[in-house]
Amino acid sequence: MYPIPVAPQGALPRVPPPRHRHGAPSGPWPFVDIDDEVDPARIQDPTSHLPLSASPCSHSFPPAQEQHFCWCKYPQSLYPNWTPRQQKKSGITSVIEGRKKQASTVYCLDVMRDGIFRDRGEREFSERTVGRVWAAMQEGRPPGVKVRTLFSEGLSGPVLQMLGTRYNIEPFFFTSTLGWIPSRFQSHVVPHESDRTSAPYFLTTHLALALEALILNLRTDITIILSFIKAIPTPRTSSTVPPTPNPSFLNILTRGPPGPGLGNWNSRLPDLVIDTQAPLRLSSSDRLLTHDLLAIHMVRSPLNHSGGGGGGGGEGSTIISLHPHPHAHNNNIPGTTTHNTPGTTTTAHELHTRVHLLGKSVYWANILKDTTDPTFVLLGLLWYGMYAWDEALEGLYEHICYLESKVIQTDDFTLTRELHAIRAHLLHYDSLLQDFRNTILFVKDTPHPGLMPRTDLSLESEAGSKANKHRMDRECGSLLLEVDRLERSRKMMESRLKNVMDL
């Protein structure tokens, strides 16, 4: 008979295998797979579903400025190609419909133009507060805010729809977060510099100021979904049972002929399958190497030098970091569990505290004071992933040294299986580190449009733009050097494992 995978009692959490094809808007068919049926009515009349979005709602407060639909109509109100069927398959429907009453907390932190970080407290999103929260989201910011960072603890339906409507966010940001899909893309793209310099000379003399104003008043958004590895203590809950030698082995029980006192189950030793989507347990230190996620959307609004103000281009940039509850997405994979154990992923409060601490660094405070580019705050968030990687590989190295001494002393087959599991995880980490590298390069190669060097600027402005580019190249280079070091460490451990397995 076919083997039937089952999740053992107290199984440790795993992440779903990413569906990369549904990770970015460049894919023209979001969550429409090859075998999915396409509704003929959509092809004949692409706007046939809009009356559903325009149906009346119970919200009495006005929608956001420049929006023709209430926030509760997101995502179809702004992205009509996201039909109800696609929303259901992507997990958006389960959030909007299944968690209308779930409370979420959003932590707010402002980075001022002088490099000072100001904590704006937290705000609860719940069914009874949606009116007040939505009204507050339309208010202007205090003068001098360069970038506002929002950290959402939990992803309720109102939070998803309000943020999506207020900041015109591609639904891919939410679906990639729910599905643990590594992704990076740019939206609301500004035309390239060459598009404007290719105009005839006599036009550039008349339109130079107008074109410069156009570029400075266009926004460009970047989205980053980055999976990384973090070391955590082994969770202790009432439902946790002593794990198998390594939780990367999923139990496979095979249905067989009835035996005495066994019912329909055979009592033979279960087969073992290596699963790199599950945590790797380090028995020597009683810690887990588990997947974590940075889910960041950055609205890089036009540079504004006039202080605060209401909505539109004059309010500065915004960074949104999502921290959905671990059980937010059910991957429907038999025999596996998603991240549902408390403490396995970084919380909004933890990352909010870390970013606040970034402002206490003299080095980073000087950078943020000297530049108008809000993207440097995003680089600070990437350093969090680097720290986690470094600690995880440090713990793994110590565990490999421990296993080396054990293998020399014994020929226990369990150790051999664990060595194979660790090697499989190291191969998996190779792809994750490569994704980390590509994310850094993406940030480096996607500059703020208002800070790109241009020949029509004054000498002072042009020098400032070049200095900002040099600073960005330097800081991205520092991160890339750290990734190089992590990759060398990973390769060294893989070689050490091979030596041990050859004994």
Residue 327: pLDDT over 50: no
Residue 171: pLDDT over 50: yes
Quick one: pLDDT band at residue 261, thresholds 50, 70, 90?
Answer: very low
pLDDT > 90 fraction of the chain, expressed in percent and rounded: 45
SS3 256: strand
Quick one: pLDDT band at residue 67, thresholds 50, 70, 90?
Answer: low
Residue 301: per-residue pLDDT: 81
Residue 12: per-residue pLDDT: 61
Residue showing tokens 């002072």? 460
Q: Which of 211-220, 265-274, 344-353 holds the top average pLDDT?
A: 344-353
Question: Measured in whole angstroms, how far is the alpha carbon of residue 349 from the centre of its chain?
Answer: 16
Residue predicted with more confidence, 190 or 469: 469
What confidence tens digit (pLDDT) does each residue in 192-214 have?
Answer: 443 333 334 333 444 444 444 44
Residue 143: pLDDT over 80: yes
Q: What is the 3-state secondary structure (H, E, C) of 30-97?
A: CCCCCCCCCCHHHHHCCCCCHHHHCCCCCCCCCCCCCCCCCHHHCCCCCCCCCCHHHHHHHCHHHHHH
From 393, 84, 86, 429, select the one nearest 248 (Cα to Cα).
Answer: 429
For residue 253, give both structure tokens. Answer: 């029980």
Residue 251: pLDDT over 70: no
Q: Which of 13-27, 107-121, 183-197, 455-469 holds the top average pLDDT?
A: 107-121
Residue 459: pLDDT over 90: no
Residue 147: pLDDT over 90: yes
Residue 27: pLDDT over 80: yes
Residue 239: per-residue pLDDT: 44
Residue 417: per-residue pLDDT: 84
pTM of the shown model: 0.82
Residue 146: pLDDT over 80: yes
pLDDT > 70 fraction of the chain, expressed in percent and rounded: 68
Residue 69: per-residue pLDDT: 75
Residue 485: pLDDT over 70: yes
Residue predicted with more confidence, 215 or 399: 399
Residue 500: per-residue pLDDT: 81
What confidence tens digit (pLDDT) does each residue in 367-400 have?
Answer: 999 888 999 999 999 999 999 999 999 999 999 9
- On average, the pLDDT of the chain sits at 78
For residue 359, give both structure tokens. Answer: 């402002």
Mean pLDDT, rounded, for 145-155:
94
Residue predicted with more confidence, 487 or 61: 487
Q: Which residues contact 366 (CB under 8 A, 6 or more apart)?
A: 115
Residue predicted with more confidence, 277 or 325: 277
Mean pLDDT, rounded, for 123-131:
84
Mean pLDDT, rounded, for 428-438:
97
Q: Which of 69-73, 117-121, 301-305, 411-415 holds the top average pLDDT?
A: 117-121
Mean pLDDT, rounded, for 137-153:
91
Q: Contact at 8 Å (CB) between 374 and 147?
A: yes
Residue 267: pLDDT over 50: no
Q: What is the 3-state secondary structure (H, E, C) of 74-93?
A: CCCCCCCCCCHHHHHHHCHH
Residue 46: pLDDT over 90: no
Residue predicted with more confidence, 277 or 461: 277
The DSSP code sequence of 407-466 is: HHH---HHHHHHHHHHHHHHHHHHHHHHHHHHHHHHHHTS--GGGS--TTS-HHHHHHHH
What confidence tens digit (pLDDT) does each residue in 334-365 have?
Answer: 333 444 445 689 999 999 999 999 999 999 99
